[in-house]
């Protein structure tokens, strides 16, 4: 299927797409290369997904780039990933500005190496006024950690007398998460054939459509992104209602 064959409905473009970019290591190993070769090639796929998202008017793209659990990988791979992050930010900054991309992050960015933090601070500053799309990199991110932090903050405010426990509801919890300024994703894509969430946006994904593909991340191109959107557009989002209710509301 080529991009031309994919007819997307411009009225049903998801506002927010999240991606678990998985399979870099296996992609490299299949080619007899080191795992980092897969990560390096994965950067091209990031560019493709971002370009595709901008082209169809997605407003938020969240990419799972490094999980809290990924700190348990071999030191050498972690160091190579961090170097790649710094290099990619410096290489892509002009392109991000050309495309109108605002860069933001979620996760414990303050525990990344200083060089990464500096590159991120710089890129965020240089792209802060861009309005076409917000690219959110999840770095040293874990959903359970994020929720634990939110509970800690709320508890402290209750103890200090600044928050009533009865005021804690779904909206308030959402507002204490690092994603407070973003709508929940309508679509989650995970590559590489793994059918799991791996501690990613667990609160935010409550009603997200899940799209799993066997394609390894470095092979994931613009047309694959469009295919995922096309698949999403065929789905009926019922939010607990019946199919008939959804049909009645749409006429
Ligand atoms: C995803 O690819 C990138 C990161 C988690 C940083 P992997 O490195 O997990 O690749 P596989 O799953 O081992 O093939
Ligand atoms: C999830 O991929 C994290 C990122 C893509 C950054 P992993 O490869 O780390 O996930 P698991 O360990 O297979 O669940
Ligand atoms: Mg993996």
Give me the pLDDT at residue 33, please: 98
- Which residue in the list 5, 11, 22, 94 is annotated as catalytic? 22
- Which residue in the list 11, 44, 70, 199 is annotated as catalytic? 70
Domain 3-153+181-250, CATH homologous superfamily name and number: Decaprenyl diphosphate synthase-like (3.40.1180.10)
Q: What is the mean pLDDT of residues 82-103?
A: 98
Residue 1 has pLDDT above 90, yes or no: no
Note whether 188 and 210 are within 8 A (CB): yes
Give me the pLDDT at residue 250, please: 79
Q: What is the mean pLDDT of residues 229-247?
A: 94
Output the CA 181–ligand 2 centroid distance in Å.
Answer: 25
Q: Which of 19, 21, 23 to mutate to test the pocket of ligand 1 (most atoms within 8 A of CB)?
A: 23
Output the CA 242–ligand 2 centroid distance in Å.
Answer: 35
Ligand 2 atom nearest 69 alpha carbon: 9
- Has 22 been annotated as catalytic? yes
pTM, entire model = 0.97
Share of the chain above pLDDT 90, in %: 95
Give me the pLDDT at residue 4, please: 60
Q: What is the mean pLDDT of residues 10-30?
A: 98
Residue 126 has pLDDT above 60, yes or no: yes
Give me the pLDDT at residue 14, please: 98
Q: What is the mean pLDDT of residues 3-21?
A: 91
Give me the pLDDT at residue 212, please: 98
Q: Which of 45, 194, 205 to mutate to test the pocket of ligand 2 (most atoms within 8 A of CB)?
A: 194
Q: Pick the residue with more confidence: 113 or 1?
A: 113
Give me the pLDDT at residue 187, please: 98
Give me the pLDDT at residue 3, please: 57
Residue 233 has pLDDT above 90, yes or no: yes
Share of the chain above pLDDT 70, in %: 98
* CB 218 less than 6 A from any atom of ligand 1: no
* CB 194 less than 6 A from any atom of ligand 2: yes
Query: If we measure between CA atoms, which residue out of 3, 17, 6, 22 comes closest to residue 215?
Result: 22
Residue spans per domain, the chain: 3-153+181-250
What average pLDDT does the chain have? Answer: 96
Q: Tell me: the pLDDT tens digits for 159-208?
A: 999 999 999 999 999 999 999 999 999 999 999 999 999 999 999 999 99
């Amino acid at each position: 299927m080529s991009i031309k064959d994919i007819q997307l409905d411009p009225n049903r473009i998801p506002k927010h797409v999240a991606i678990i970019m998985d399979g870099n290591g296996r992609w490299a190993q299949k080619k007899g290369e080191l795992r980092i070769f897969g990560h390096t090639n994965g950067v091209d796929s990031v560019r493709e997904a971002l370009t595709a998202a901008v082209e169809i008017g997605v407003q938020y793209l969240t990419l799972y780039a490094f999980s809290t659990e990924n700190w348990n990988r071999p030191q050498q791979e972690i160091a190579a990933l961090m170097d790649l992050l710094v290099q990619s930010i410096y290489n892509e900054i002009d392109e991000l500005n050309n495309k109108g991309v605002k860069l933001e992050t979620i996760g414990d960015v303050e525990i990344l190496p200083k060089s990464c933090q500096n590159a991120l601070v710089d890129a965020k500053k240089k792209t802060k006024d861009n309005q076409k799309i917000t690219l959110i990199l999840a770095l040293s991110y874990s959903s359970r950690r994020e929720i634990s932090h939110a509970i800690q903050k709320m508890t402290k405010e209750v103890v200090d007398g600044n928050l009533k426990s009865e005021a804690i509801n779904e909206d308030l919890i959402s507002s204490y998460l690092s994603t407070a300024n973003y709508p929940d994703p309508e679509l989650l894509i995970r590559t590489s054939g793994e059918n799991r969430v791996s501690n990613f946006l667990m609160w935010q994904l409550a009603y997200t459509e899940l799209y799993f593909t066997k394609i390894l991340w470095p092979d994931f191109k613009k047309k694959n992104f469009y295919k995922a959107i096309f698949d999403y557009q065929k789905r009926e989002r019922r939010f607990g209602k019946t199919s008939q209710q959804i049909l009645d509301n749409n006429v």
